Amino acid sequence: MAKTLVSQSNIRAIIVREASELTTDYAESSSLNIQGANQLQLLVSFTKGDSEGCRLRIEFSEDESEWYQESTYNLSENIYAIHTPAYREIQSSANIVISVPISATFFRVSAKAMVSFTSTSLSIMATIANI
């Protein structure tokens, strides 16, 4: 018998992007209010088609005017953390979950196909919760 670990009333589902073909330029989603949540999961459904994959850029904001992109870092030989903007890349058709801890008020996702976009499809749904 399955157990419910989190009340459904604590989880909100938001459609970020309806299934549609990508282009080779970033197309950003609308700004989505996630105030009060501390966990974000993106449910991503990607069909590769003739592309070499797709890239996602996840950004956060407090005021919807200044946006901050996720970053990744490497430690240099001098133990400096060198940050660079992070892009999520999907190289084959897949249904995946991207989990991100959050503390912002708004977020958006931009997506583009790599090289070609013929026969691609991408849909994204977000689930947010305060756990």
Q: In this predicted model, which residue has the larger pLDDT, 45 or 8? A: 45
In the chain, the amino acid numbered 53 is: G
Give the least confident one: 2-11, 59-68, 92-101: 2-11
Q: Could you say which architecture CATH assigns to the domain 12-129? A: Sandwich (2.60)
Task: State the pLDDT at residue 9.
Answer: 63
First to last CA, the chain: 23
Asked if pLDDT for residue 10 goes beyond 90, the answer is: no
Identify the H or E element spanning 86. none
Give the Cα separation of 13 and 24 in Å (integer): 28
Task: State the pLDDT at residue 95.
Answer: 98
Q: Which one, of 13, 131, 124, lies nearest residue 58 by Cα?
A: 124
> Facing residues of 82 across strands?
74
Q: Which one, of 24, 12, 17, lies nearest residue 58 by Cα?
A: 17
Asked if pLDDT for residue 50 goes beyond 90, the answer is: yes
Is residue 41 within 8 A of residue 55, CB to CB? The reply is: no
Alpha-carbon torsion, ordered 4, 15, 67, 47, to 10 deg:
100
Mean pLDDT throughout 99-123? Answer: 95
Task: State the pLDDT at residue 77.
Answer: 80
* pTM metric for this prediction: 0.86
Each residue of 92-109: pLDDT tens digit?
A: 999 999 999 999 999 999
Secondary structure letter of residue 119 according to DSSP: T
Each residue of 32-45: pLDDT tens digit?
A: 999 999 999 999 99
